[in-house]
Structure 1
Amino acid sequence: MVDSNDGRDFRRMDIDCEVVVRRITEDVIIHARATNLSATGLMFSCATALNLDEELEIRINPGQEGLTPPLHAMARVVRVEGDEASSGFAIGCVITEMVD
């Protein structure tokens, strides 16, 4: 745990990679761009607005196979910023469960 000035328990790591998001209630796949990751959360950008408290399945395959393992997790939307008129939406999620 980290004692930071912004009150977060864990540091964020900036990333830039594709994330595949599945909306659980609609069984819809969204291709998005991950922007940062911490031990308990993820932020990504996409063209689709998501709902607060919406449950998602997240998959990140971070590049060269074997070098970094993929991330497969369940998450819940806790923040939605932006609009369709701008460059899309920034979605903040809390990771609720890691999936094998």
Structure 2
Amino acid sequence: MLTHDEKRDYIRMDVDCDITYRLADSDQVNTGRCTTLSGAGVSFIANRPFDIGLALEVSILPKTPITPPMTAFIEVVRSVKQSDGSYEIAASIKSIKGN
């Protein structure tokens, strides 16, 4: 029998792949590193902080071609400066963008 102490509605998976992100009202696209992904949220490394509540559009680009990319609209819930000067951004997924 499998047991775990996960209190979340969705299990968080560690990932290591490219992510692009942009402000919802901007055409400027930036690149970061996706670190975790779940059915309800995502975290990634960015070169700047974002205010809590800010809306972004992200595209997660898996390393393998058998996993399709995913584009989603997210809302920032946390922005933490890392020791190397980058920022860990945690966000809730508000919707998945369809084709």
Per the alignment, residue 72 of structure 2 pairs with 73
Task: Return the alpha-carbon distance in structure 2 between the equivalents of residues 4 and 50 of structure 1.
Answer: 32
Kindly tell me the number of residue pairs found equivalent between the two proteins.
96
Task: Return the alpha-carbon distance in structure 1 between the equivalents of residues 94 and 6 of structure 2.
Answer: 22
- Shift of the alpha carbon at 1:27? 3.6
Q: Percent identity?
A: 29
Unaligned runs of at least 5 residues, structure 2: none
The amino acid that maps onto 2:71 is H
Q: Judging changes above 3 Å, is the alpha-carbon distance between structure 1 residues 4 and 94 closer, same or farther for their aligned structure 2 residues? A: farther
Q: Could you state the TM-score of these two structures normalised by the residue count of structure 2?
A: 0.85
CA RMSD of aligned residues (A): 1.9
Alignment partner of 1:35 is 2:35: yes
1:1-100 residue pairs with structure 2 within 5 A?
5=5, 7-65=7-65, 67-82=66-81, 86-100=84-98
Greater shift after overlay, 25-34 or 87-96?
A: 25-34
Q: Judging changes above 3 Å, is the alpha-carbon distance between structure 1 residues 4 and 56 closer, same or farther for their aligned structure 2 residues? A: farther
- Shift of the alpha carbon at 1:71? 0.7
Q: Could you state the TM-score of these two structures normalised by the residue count of structure 1?
A: 0.84
- Shift of the alpha carbon at 1:6? 5.3
- Shift of the alpha carbon at 1:4? 5.5
